[in-house]
Homo-oligomer: A and B are copies of this chain.
Amino acid sequence: MRILSHEIPSAVGQSVTVAGWVHRRRRLAAVSFLILRDRSGLAQIVVKGTQAQLLDELGEETVVQVTGTVAANPQAPGGAEIVDPVIEPLTEPAATLPIELWRPTVGAGLPVVLDNAPVALRHPVVRAGWEIAAAAMHGFREALSSQDFTEIQTPKIVGTATESGANVFALDYFGGPAYLAQSPQFYKQQMVGVFERVFEVGPVFRAEPHDTVRHLAEYVSLDAEFGFITDHRDVLVMLRSAVAGMLAAVGERAGGALERLQVELPEIPVDVPVVHFSEALKIAGADPDEPDLAPADERAIGEWARREHGSEFVAVEGYPMVKRPFYTHPQPSDPRWSNSFDLLFRGMELVTGGQRLHRYSDYVAALEARGESAEAPAYSSYLQAFKHGMPPHGGFAIGLERFVARLTGAENIREVTLFPRDLHRLTP
């Protein structure tokens, strides 16, 4: 019966079996050490005699099973090690790695890491990013499930390139044209008509022609949408509880990963400070006619929120309608502004959300204003939901990899993506 390396300290004096990868071998004059890695961490095994000769033949990353006796040793990980081991290889001796996984920090540059992702991800520091991502997905789902949301899975192959038209991947669908969905926006709105509250965790696709440190051609989007709201402030409250759930789950389930990356979890206040877009421009000292916030402006607002509200999070509401998609609900008191917001974290945009239009006639007018028709095939089934009664609703979308990158301070979003896809990278 196999035990995990983190269970070794509680088995002092007992005979145990562990299994995992040869993480490192250290040969001293009288004794050798095998550092074994399994999913729970590292184990130290003291090797002598013929077993030490066997170990010489088993390169790093060979998979082995080790049976031995647990002995207390304050200098071993967790205060215990395995002595008198019998080592049994479970595979062929592993070939020499392109990356030294046993070093505490990753010696190789990012391109080498990405080219060798199948093995580079085994490095405890490289895999830490994804451990945080996995925990964040769990927290997102739990937070929304506990508020009566229904999980949906909507089609990734769609018939029309709607939301922006640009940056869409085209494919051959049984001899006709089709596209990869850039977001589940239209479907999640329709599903508010069915389940009232829905979320989806799944891939979205952007044929992003720019090679930047924060864009991917495929990423995981955490989407939520729900009905019977008053306005976008209700959406912000729900977003706050989703982000709080994600942070809590990361703390509970990925504590080891946070330690390896030397990251401290931020706290999101119960009431996230909110500033109107027009006010945000003033805080940033920007031109009052600017339709968008520059990165420097966002940093200034982040600083302001920390200084004035002691918060690392701040929401900017009321973004100009001209910069928002057609389904955005205007601010009732002044339709130049919108009932939408960006949530900034440490002075950088983390999430966009807001209230959507819910009356069919408003969609007809909004599309007409952009020279489009609500009767066009691209919109007809989307808008069927609105013809037949939709409540006031809104939602948000969190880019998983971007969330993790912001949390860990990764300079390049690829550092926290298992197998990134971009302009230049389609493998591994």
Contact = CB atoms under 8 A, between A and B. Distances in A.
A421 B157 contact: yes
Contact of A156 (B62, B218, B384): B218
A195 B127 contact: yes
A418 B400 CA distance: 24
Contacts of A261: none
Interface stretch (A66-74, A146-154, A305-313): A146-154
A418 B152 contact: yes
B19 A228 contact: yes
A94 interface: yes
A116 B121 CA distance: 45
Interface string A400-428: 10000000000000000011010100111
A124 to B, nearest CB: 10
Contact of A180 (B95, B155, B171, B360): B171
Interface in A372-394: 377, 381-382, 384-385, 387-392
A148 B5 CA distance: 14
A180 B179 CA distance: 12
Interface string A9-28: 00000000001011000000
User: Which of A137, A151, A209, A392 has the most chain B CB within a 10 Å cutoff?
Assistant: A151
Interface stretch (A105-113, A197-205, A273-281, A328-336): A197-205
Contacts of A171: 169-172, 180
A426 B173 contact: yes
Interface in A60-110: 61-63, 90-92, 94-95, 97
A102 to B, nearest CB: 13
Contacts of A174: 207, 209, 217, 423
Q: Which of under 10, 10 to 19, 20 to 34, or 35 or more describes the interface residues of A?
A: 35 or more
A118 B193 contact: yes
A385 B228 contact: no
A2 interface: yes
A388 B419 contact: no
A321 interface: no
A75 to B, nearest CB: 27
Contacts of A284: none
A119 interface: yes
A207 B150 CA distance: 29
A150 B178 contact: no
B388 A94 contact: yes
A173 B207 CA distance: 8
A131 interface: yes
Interface in A161-215: 169-174, 176, 178, 180, 187, 190-191, 193-197, 201-203, 205, 207, 209
Interface of A: 2, 19, 21-22, 38-39, 61-63, 90-92, 94-95, 97, 116-119, 121-122, 127, 130-131, 133-134, 137-138, 141, 145, 148, 150-159, 169-174, 176, 178, 180, 187, 190-191, 193-197, 201-203, 205, 207, 209, 217-218, 220, 228, 358-361, 377, 381-382, 384-385, 387-392, 400, 418-419, 421, 423, 426-428
8 contacts: A19-B228, A63-B391, A94-B387, A119-B388, A122-B193, A138-B145, A155-B418, A155-B419
